[in-house]
Amino acid sequence: RVQHSFSECDCIERERNALLEFRRGVKDPSGWLSSWVGKDCCNWTGVNCSNTTGNVVVLHLKTMDYCGSVGHSEAFNRGTCLSGTLSPSLLNLTYLSYLDLSGNNFQGIPIPEFIGSLKTLRYLDLSHAAFIGEVPRSLGNLSYLEYLALSMVAPDPLRLWASDLSWVVGLSSLQYLDHSFMNLSKANNWVEAVSMLPSLTTLDLSWCELQDFAESLTINFTSLSVLDLSYNNFNTTIPCWLFNITTLQRVNLQRSEIKGSLPEVSRGSLCNLCTLDLSLNAINGKIKGFIDALGGCGNNTLDYLDLSSNNLQGKLPDSLGNLNLYEISISNCQLGPRFPTWLRTQVDAFEIILSGAGISDIIPVWFWNLTSRLWWVDLSDNQFRGKLPGSVSFEFDNITGAWVDLGFNRLEGVVSSSLCALPFLIFLKLSSNNLSGELSSVLQNCSRSCSKQVIRAIPKCLGNLKTFTYLGPYFDELPSTLHIEFREHVEIVSKGRQNEYTKIIPLLNVIDLSANDLKGEKPDHITKLSALFTLNLSWNHLSGKIPENIGNLQRLESLDLSHNNLSGPIPPSMISMTFLNYLNLSFNKLWGQIPTGNGSKLSMILVYMKETQSFAVFHYQAVVHRQPMEMEKMKMETQK
């Protein structure tokens, strides 16, 4: 927030009265505008005046709470944001060039028509402020406007919309346009309209329900460098004219229902391109010609490339090696079967994602020594064979973690203890391979986490971990230069299903060692992890009894011990697990009562009925306050 600006001239009385009238129209429960008293309005919070004339030129009343955004009502209830109505008295600020009301909550009112008469505006930001309804076409009168942001933070049925964007043609000075999350599903003329803005450098129309992507267009863009059309409904191919815009630096068409083959691109025509995201579409066909065109520049500015989750085919051309990529994501494309040798030149890469790429090869030794900057590696869901490397090094400036996913391959051999000695390791997934061995006690030195380690026996060191997390504060430490949007994800089997989390989770205390070759008794020391709320040891070969003190896991919400060789009574201490709402003990040799207390949240129990040789589901809500019952006598729904 701008507090105030000192001016050599006193504020003009007519403009001071206009600001006071504006204040009377808004609700300010936090007293943010309490400084709006006295004669010198140039010293008021959020107000800047010209040093030479004393005219108000800036009204900066932005809040970072985003009270008017979906999911942020709590901020508004704390009284941190402005609401109410906007007074047309602002028209008396005849030299106003900067107006920012973003992040407030104007509670579903339309953008006032009079805003289009503030003809001296150069900067207008009304984003995330809970305005709804049709965007007034009068905004097209703002011919001096250079920056216009009307975005929302998430899609909402009650949001801004426009059925016609022809009015933007009047914004002849516009350089930055952000309409993200607006409903533009009926604005079929959007391409023709925005292409008439010769000074436009940034265009963000993501999440706008756009359905039309003109196949032919006379290009009037002379400065466009950033284009974000992600999460739209085009259902068409990428038009050829798009990649004829030679000034483009960043292009995002992620999940925009693009289909068909990649357009033909003249070699060297995209030499300014730094970022290209075409992921999560239905693009098919050969990839070689397109990649050759990207690599045909002497300066090689492209450093981020995401072609993942398409239907692209063919060998990745060696011309990719001409690029100097920082982030590479080409997952879920059939690009195998050989390991791409062009990666050997990517010595500055810190993220490589080649999951589900149809590669059936040995991971070469040189890959693990490619660069010390590499901190995110995902080679999962391929057919990699061979052994794990004896030593791996991960470090990137002051980043204190590394993410390695080699799950769902054909790797074999012993898990080396050197993996646990990695000082920067935060996530290691080796599930669904043919690995064996025992992790030594060095695992207790993993201060960050030891998540999803595939091991043959559960090490005692697990009980020594003070916190057991997937993410913890890790992503808070990433430098601001990293682009990890929609990259931070983790798959967790909890409450009987595999969930993929695609946003930052502050503290996720989870152990998932399911579907491995674990043997031996379930160790007592695992019950020392008092912060645990998901424990999944299903589909292993665990034997013996459930630890008597399992009730120490009082925060546990999901417990899955199914498909093992556990035997003996169900521990009475489970009555202390009042947060437990999912319990799967099926396919074991357990007997006795399932203890529950009045505070129990248990909603589902899964057991194995020996008499009927069937899998049974018992929905517990209806009997949660009854006395404990024998398993054999429970009323259940059985699933053959």
pLDDT digits (tens, 9 = 90+) for 14-65: 999 999 999 999 999 889 899 999 999 999 999 999 999 999 999 999 986 5
CB 174 within 8 A of CB 148: yes
CB 347 within 8 A of CB 371: yes
Domain ranges of the chain: 1-161, 234-361, 371-440+456-475+486-635
CB 184 within 8 A of CB 159: no
3-class secondary-structure state, position 129: coil
| CA dihedral over 453, 459, 461, 466, signed as positive or negative | positive
Give, for 17, the enclosing helix (H) or strand (E): helix 13-25
pLDDT at 457: 36
Half-sphere exposure of 190 (CA within 13 A, CB side): 25
CB 617 within 8 A of CB 562: no
pLDDT at 492: 53
3-class secondary-structure state, position 436: strand
The owner of tokens 């899955």 is: 560
Of residues 480 and 594, the one with the higher pLDDT is 594
DSSP assignment of 58-125, as one string? EEE---TT-TTSTT-HHHHHTT-S-EE---GGGGG-TT--EEE-TT---TTPPPPGGGGG-TT-SEEE
pLDDT at 491: 56
pLDDT at 99: 98
pLDDT at 553: 87
Instruction: Give the lowest-confidence range in 110-114, 255-259, 447-451.
Output: 447-451
Look up the pTM and report it. Answer: 0.68
Q: CA-to-CA distance for 562 and 172, rounded, in angstroms?
A: 66
Residue 583 has pLDDT above 90, yes or no: no
Which of 118, 97, 120, 91 has its CA nearest to residue 18? 91
pLDDT at 476: 34
Which of 189, 185, 276 has its CA nearest to residue 226? 276
> What mean pLDDT is predicted for residues 224-248?
94
pLDDT at 576: 85
What CATH homologous superfamily does 1-161 map to?
Ribonuclease Inhibitor (3.80.10.10)
Tens of pLDDT, residues 522-546? 677 677 777 677 888 888 888 999 9
CATH number of the structural domain 371-440+456-475+486-635: 3.80.10.10
Instruction: Give the lowest-confidence range in 159-173, 414-428, 520-534.
Output: 414-428
Which amino acid appears at position 61 of this protein? L
pLDDT at 269: 82
Residue 614 has pLDDT above 70, yes or no: no
DSSP H helical ranges for 263-357: 288-294
> What mean pLDDT is predicted for residues 357-361?
92
Residue 138 has pLDDT above 70, yes or no: yes
Residue 629 has pLDDT above 60, yes or no: no
Residue 74 has pLDDT above 80, yes or no: no
Residue 598 has pLDDT above 50, yes or no: no
Which of 93, 81, 72 has its CA nearest to residue 30? 81
Q: CA-to-CA distance for 215 and 235, rounded, in angstroms?
A: 12
Q: Say whether the peptide bond before residue 337 is cis (omega within 30 degrees of 0).
A: yes
pLDDT at 12: 95
Class of domain 234-361: alpha beta
90 — phi, psi (to 5°)? -60, -20
pLDDT at 516: 74
Tens of pLDDT, residues 462-517? 443 333 333 333 333 333 333 333 334 455 554 455 555 543 333 336 777 787 77
Residue 316 has pLDDT above 60, yes or no: yes
Mean of per-residue pLDDT scores for the chain? 77
Starting at the edge strand found earlier in the chain, the sheet holding 604-609 runs 510-512, 534-536, 558-560, 582-584, 604-609, 614-619, 637-639
Label residue 496 left, alpha or beta by phi (over 0 means left) and psi (-120 to 50 means alpha).
Answer: left
Model confidence at 228, pLDDT cuts 50, 70, 90, reads: very high
Name the DSSP letter for residue 388. Answer: P
> What mean pLDDT is predicted for residues 139-155?
92
Q: Do 1-161 and 371-440+456-475+486-635 fold alike per CATH?
A: yes
Residue 162 has pLDDT above 90, yes or no: yes
- Count of other CB atoms within 10 angstroms of residue 503: 8
The share of the chain scoring above pLDDT 90, in percent, equals 39
The DSSP bridge pattern shows strands 434-436 and 497-501 to be unpaired
> What mean pLDDT is predicted for residues 114-124?
98
Give, for 367, the enclosing helix (H) or strand (E): helix 365-368
The share of the chain scoring above pLDDT 70, in percent, equals 72
The neighbouring-strand residues paired with 410 are 385
